[in-house]
């Protein structure tokens, strides 16, 4: 199918998207959809080919083009984000399964992922292996037709709500740390998987720590090639940065500006020239970020890992979050981070401000993004590596001391 649509084809598909969103979505300003609402939305979208628009029909997708997908994203931008909890399922796990999965793996997992029947998580970070993910120590050993997984992961988003996950483990400690890693598809309900939610400052539990004790994974659940886990992990991180950096960017939009503008109006500071200058600064930053995100999406070819440019949107989004928090505190003081316990539904703004701290950590720290941009986008010299060529078993990294 050609990626080029005629004007009539584009208009007809756009109208289909609008009609669907009018029936199944909530407008901006309405209550946030919960997980069950989001699953119902995705199931309905899958029924009419609007979930996984550009993925093959044989695996539960819409079987359409990236041009169709672009229109779908643009239309969704006029409504509440209806599948925000599935950003990892659809922005990271789904494209990895589609690009690196076998036919059997795609047939088994893609349709239920696309339709929202199953939620997925990503398990990379460990105690002592956060920004330096290659230092991870969770290990998988082949035992007949199964892998036996032992170890620990931490800061895993939505693990407690997920049915499946993609996990990276060390399969050959004799190799250097960036080699000897493999990626697996894991049933989150398998015996030996223990999930402990981490309680956050806003009262929620979005992240988790996970313990693996002799977890048995079918041999066929190896994703990609054996000991090629770092290549796949890098690819997944690229997808993650595009997903985070372009969340809700189907069109030019300024959600943070709108949030702060509303706070300025409520506090009577909207006519303060300093405040207006701050608001326009945020407006300009978000507009630029949206344009960069749309360019990254346009450059991404179907079924191909995105390039390092995704780090630009990820880093810029973090900068916006930091500036947003500063302005919110100036505008509303303590009420920008605190709320009446009796008004849980009215605490959206405060939760956004509190959760903004994670923006410079999740998906790779700001420092890591700057390294990637310097090295792989600008072509600057890499930082020196002191562990180059050293087998992982001989390194003193993370919590490994023996």
Catalytic residues: 240
Specify the DSSP element, H or E, that contains 316: helix 310-332
Distance between first and last Cα of the chain: 56
DSSP secondary structure, 27-91, as one string: BTTSPPP-HHHHHHHHHHHHHTT-SSTTS-GGGTS----HHHHHHHHHHHTTB--TTGGGHHIII
How far is 193 from 181, CA to CA, in rounded Å? 20
How far is 113 from 43, CA to CA, in rounded Å? 10
Specify the DSSP element, H or E, that contains 223: strand 222-223
Cβ-based neighbours of 27, under 8 Å, separated by 6 or more:
79, 80
DSSP letter, residue 225 = S
Q: Classify the C-alpha dihedral 147-148-153-157 as positive or negative.
A: positive
Token pair of 207 as six digits? 């992240």
How far is 34 from 266, CA to CA, in rounded Å? 27
Instruction: Yes or no: say if 256 and 328 are a contact pair by the CB < 8 Å rule.
Output: no
Paired strand residues for 169: 182
Nearest of 97, 182, 96 to residue 138 by alpha carbon: 182
Token pair of 340 as six digits? 């009446």
């Amino acid at each position: 199918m050609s990626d080029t649509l005629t004007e009539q084809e584009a208009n007809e598909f756009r109208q289909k998207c609008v009609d669907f969103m009018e029936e199944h979505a909530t407008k901006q300003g309405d209550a946030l959809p919960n997980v069950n609402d989001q699953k119902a939305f995705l199931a309905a979208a899958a029924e009419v080919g609007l979930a996984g628009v550009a993925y093959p029909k044989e695996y539960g997708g819409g079987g359409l083009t990236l041009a169709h997908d672009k229109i779908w994203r643009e239309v969704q931008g006029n409504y509440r984000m209806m599948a925000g909890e599935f950003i990892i399922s659809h922005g990271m796990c789904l494209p990895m399964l589609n690009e690196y999965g076998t036919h059997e793996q795609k047939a088994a997992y893609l349709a239920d992922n696309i339709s929202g029947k199953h939620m997925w998580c990503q398990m990379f970070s460990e105690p002592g292996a956060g920004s330096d993910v290659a230092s991870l120590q969770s290990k998988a050993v082949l035992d007949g037709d199964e892998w036996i997984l032992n170890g620990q992961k931490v800061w895993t988003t939505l693990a407690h709500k997920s049915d499946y996950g993609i996990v990276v483990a060390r399969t050959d400690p004799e190799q250097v740390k960036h080699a000897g890693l493999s990626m697996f598809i894991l049933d989150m309900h398998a015996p030996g998987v223990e999930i402990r939610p981490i309680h956050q400052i806003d009262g929620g539990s979005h992240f988790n720590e996970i313990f693996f004790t002799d977890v048995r994974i079918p041999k066929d659940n190896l994703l990609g090639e054996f000991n090629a886990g770092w290549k796949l992990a890098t690819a997944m991180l690229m997808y993650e940065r595009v997903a985070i950096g372009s969340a809700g960017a189907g069109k030019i939009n300024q959600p943070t500006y709108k949030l702060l503008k509303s706070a300025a109006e409520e506090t009577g500071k909207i006519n303060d020239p300093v405040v207006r200058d701050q608001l326009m600064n945020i407006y300009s930053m978000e507009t630029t970020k949206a344009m960069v995100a749309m360019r990254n999406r346009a450059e991404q070819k179907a079924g191909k890992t995105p390039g390092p440019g995704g780090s630009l949107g990820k880093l810029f989004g973090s900068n916006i979050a930091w500036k947003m928090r500063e302005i919110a505190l100036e505008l509303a003081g303590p009420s920008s981070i605190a709320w009446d316990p009796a008004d849980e539904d009215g605490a959206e703004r405060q939760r956004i401000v509190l959760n903004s701290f994670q923006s410079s950590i999740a998906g790779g720290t700001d420092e890591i993004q700057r390294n990637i941009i310097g090295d792989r986008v600008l072509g600057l010299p890499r930082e020196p590596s002191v562990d180059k060529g050293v087998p992982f078993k001989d390194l003193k990294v993370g919590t490994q001391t023996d």
